[in-house]
């Protein structure tokens, strides 16, 4: 007797056997470039789990493109600095007399880091043998080196990475030749102009290591389709998935998702706690929120009273560092109950973030299954498709 297979037993229509080699996986990845929006589909699940694919992403994306490190509000005064690790590079970002620099913080003597954490410095002094550097990286002094032949401190300077500040966000690149990130993001900057990103202040910051691929973190950040599942009790009642939409264009440096508030709901409530609004929000009568992926891995979201800037740093196929600054209007600092309000904001934000982490950790496990298919995408998650196309183009 024939028994019709249950849906769970059917082979998914987009099922493709695991590639088994990096070449086949790259071919399966780039094949998706042929699809148009109505046929939008995910990358092969192996692109989220394969060490070889991850290594290729590091070479072709993360060592070639721009990455963000933070916001200029972290370093408002001359001598202010913070540290940031990217791939194998240990960096220090410092405001000098003239400009912001992103430099290696590895001592030129025997490679100890000359700065840790964040703070304010007049110069950087290596803890190992006390070589000392100016804020622009120039070696100022190296004790007891007078018998070293042909050694002159003037000849030594900490390597500096190309960097640009775009709307207050600090970007750097390991590439000597890639085009300006400011030019690439000019259209995005025009959208941001009313919100005066460069003037915002840090409400709070946090860093966490996620147990899933960097693309999973970016994708979930940038679509609201999952409100109907992962956030059905928190976000969906106010921000229903059906009132979100995606935008993007092939070759553009970013993709965006927008979310409207459910009609007849008050603008405040849920995770909007009633801080002074970000610049421009009232003029635009904006009650929903906006999310942007600045390719590859900078995430920006704007939600009435806060602007989140997040840098994703890949640490492995299933490990990603999430570094977020929650920015608020400068007026917030004058509130008598500022600390309480920021604590409330953090509490609400953390709860929703945990809902995302829970599904994303399961998704990472699912992606390793040999039965996981290339998935089809809703029009509500075309941001996922635009990010996939960015990856496809870089891997092609």
Given Fe ion, ligand FES, none, residue 250, with its beta carbon under 5 to 8 Å by kind, binds: none
Cβ-based nearer residue to ligand FES, 107 or 218:
107
The residues that bridge with 166 in the sheet, in sequence order, are: 169
Residue partners of 17: CB distance under 8 A and separation at least 6: 370
Q: How far is 230 from 241, CA to CA, in rounded Å?
A: 11
Q: Are 74 and 46 in contact (CB under 8 A)?
A: no
| Nearest distance from C-beta of residue 302 to Fe ion, angstroms | 15
Q: Which is nearer to Fe ion, 356 or 393 (CB)?
A: 356
As measured in angstroms, the least distance from the Cβ of 172 to ligand FES is 23
Shortest distance, CB of residue 129 to ligand FES, whole angstroms?
Answer: 3
Nearer to ligand FES, 58 or 90 (CB): 90
Q: Which is nearer to Fe ion, 218 or 294 (CB)?
A: 218
In what side-by-side order are the strands of the sheet with 89-95? 66-71, 169-173, 160-166, 100-104, 89-95, 80-86, 118-120
Q: How far is CA 239 from CA 106, 227, 286, 378, in A?
A: 46, 8, 13, 17
Nearest-approach distance from CB 220 to Fe ion, in angstroms: 5
Minimum distance of ligand FES from residue 84's CB (angstroms): 20
> What's the distance, CA 367 to chain centroid?
21
Q: Compute how many residues bind ligand FES; rule: CB under 6 A.
A: 9
Binding partner of residue 356 among ligand FES, Fe ion, none, CB under 5 to 8 Å per kind? Fe ion
Binding to Fe ion by CB under 5 A, coded x per residue (else -) over 107-146, reads: ----------------------------------------
Q: State the binding partner of 262 from Fe ion, ligand FES, none, CB within 5 to 8 A by kind.
A: none
| Residue 39, binding choice from Fe ion, ligand FES, none, Cβ under 5 to 8 Å by partner class | none
Residue number with the smallest Cβ distance to Fe ion: 356
393 near Fe ion (CB under 5 A): no
Q: Which does 47 bind (CB under 5 to 8 A by kind): Fe ion, ligand FES, none?
A: none
Please list the residues that pair with 118 across neighbouring strands.
82
Q: Please calculate the CA angle 239-241-243 and round it to the nearest 5 degrees.
A: 70
Q: Which does 122 bind (CB under 5 to 8 A by kind): Fe ion, ligand FES, none?
A: none
Helix (H, G, I), strand (E, B) or coil at 170: strand
Binding partner at 379 among Fe ion, ligand FES, none, C-beta below 5 to 8 Å by kind: none
Minimum gap (Å) between residue 86 Cβ and ligand FES: 21
Shortest Cβ distance from residue 351 to Fe ion (Å)? 11
Whole-angstrom Cα distance, residue 292 to residue 381? 13
Minimum distance, C-beta of residue 355 to Fe ion, in the bound complex (Å)? 6
Contact predicate 259/274, CB 8 Å: no
294, 182 Cβ separation under 8 angstroms: no
As a whole number of angstroms, the distance between CA 339 and CA 354 comes to: 22
- Listed in sequence order, the residues at least 6 apart from 7 whose beta carbon sits closer than 8 Å to its beta carbon are none
* Distance of closest approach, residue 140 Cβ to Fe ion, in angstroms: 48
Site for ligand FES in 363-382 (CB under 6 A): none
Please tell me the number of Cα atoms within 13 Å of 297 on its side-chain side.
31
DSSP H helices in the chain: 22-31, 51-57, 181-184, 186-192, 214-221, 281-284, 338-367, 382-395
**How far is CA 251 from each of CA 102, 201, 233, 388, 392, rounded to the nearest angstrom?**
27, 32, 36, 12, 11
DSSP strand pairing (89-95 vs 100-104): antiparallel
Residue among 88 and 177 whose Cβ is closer to ligand FES: 88
What is the footprint of ligand FES within residues 73-132 (CB under 6 A)? 107, 109-110, 112, 126, 128-131
Least distance CB 270 / Fe ion (angstroms): 13
Query: How many Cβ atoms from other residues are within 10 Å of residue 76's Cβ?
Result: 10
Which positions from 337 through 366 interact with Fe ion, judged by CB under 5 A? 356
Q: Which residues bind ligand FES (CB under 6 A)?
A: 107, 109-110, 112, 126, 128-131
Q: Which residues bind Fe ion (CB under 5 A)?
A: 356
């Amino acid at each position: 007797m024939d028994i019709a297979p249950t849906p769970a037993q059917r082979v998914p229509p987009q099922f493709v056997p695991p590639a088994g080699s990096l070449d086949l996986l790259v071919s399966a990845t780039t094949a998706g470039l042929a699809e148009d929006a109505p046929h939008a589909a995910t990358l092969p699940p192996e692109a989220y789990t394969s060490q070889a694919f991850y290594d290729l992403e590091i070479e072709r994306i993360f060592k070639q493109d721009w990455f963000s490190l933070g916001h200029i509000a972290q370093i408002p005064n001359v001598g202010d600095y913070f540290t940031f690790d990217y791939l194998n590079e240990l960096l220090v970002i410092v405001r000098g007399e003239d400009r912001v620099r992103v430099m290696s913080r590895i001592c030129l003597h025997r490679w100890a880091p000359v700065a840790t954490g964040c703070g304010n410095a007049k110069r950087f002094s290596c803890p190992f043998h006390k070589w000392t550097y100016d804020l622009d990286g120039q070696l100022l002094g190296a004790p007891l080196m007078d018998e070293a032949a042909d050694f002159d401190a003037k000849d030594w300077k900490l390597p500096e990475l190309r960097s640009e500040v775009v709307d207050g966000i600090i970007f750097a690149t390991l590439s000597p030749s890639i085009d300006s990130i400011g030019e690439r993001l000019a259209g995005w900057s025009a959208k941001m102009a009313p919100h005066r990103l460069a003037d915002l202040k840090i409400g709070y910051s946090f860093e966490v290591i996620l147990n899933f691929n960097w693309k999973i973190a970016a994708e979930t950040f940038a679509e609201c389709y999952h409100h109907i599942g992962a956030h059905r009790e928190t976000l969906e009642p106010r921000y229903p998935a059906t009132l979100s939409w995606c935008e993007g264009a092939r070759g553009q440096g970013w993709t965006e998702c927008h979310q409207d508030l459910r009609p007849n709901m008050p603008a405040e409530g849920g995770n909007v706690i009633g801080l002074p609004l970000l610049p421009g929000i009232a003029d635009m009568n904006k009650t929903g929120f906006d999310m942007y992926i600045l390719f590859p891995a900078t995430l920006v979201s704007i939600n009435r009273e806060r602007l989140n800037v997040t840098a994703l740093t890949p640490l492995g196929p299933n490990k990603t560092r999430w570094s977020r600054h929650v920015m608020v209007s400068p007026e917030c600092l004058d509130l008598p109950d500022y600390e309480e309000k920021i604590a409330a904001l953090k509490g609400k934000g953390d709860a929703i973030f945990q809902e995302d982490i829970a599904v994303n950790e399961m998704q990472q496990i699912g992606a390793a299954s040999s039965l996981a298919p290339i998935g089809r995408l809703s029009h509500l998650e075309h941001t996922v498709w635009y990010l996939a196309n960015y990856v496809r183009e870089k891997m092609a």
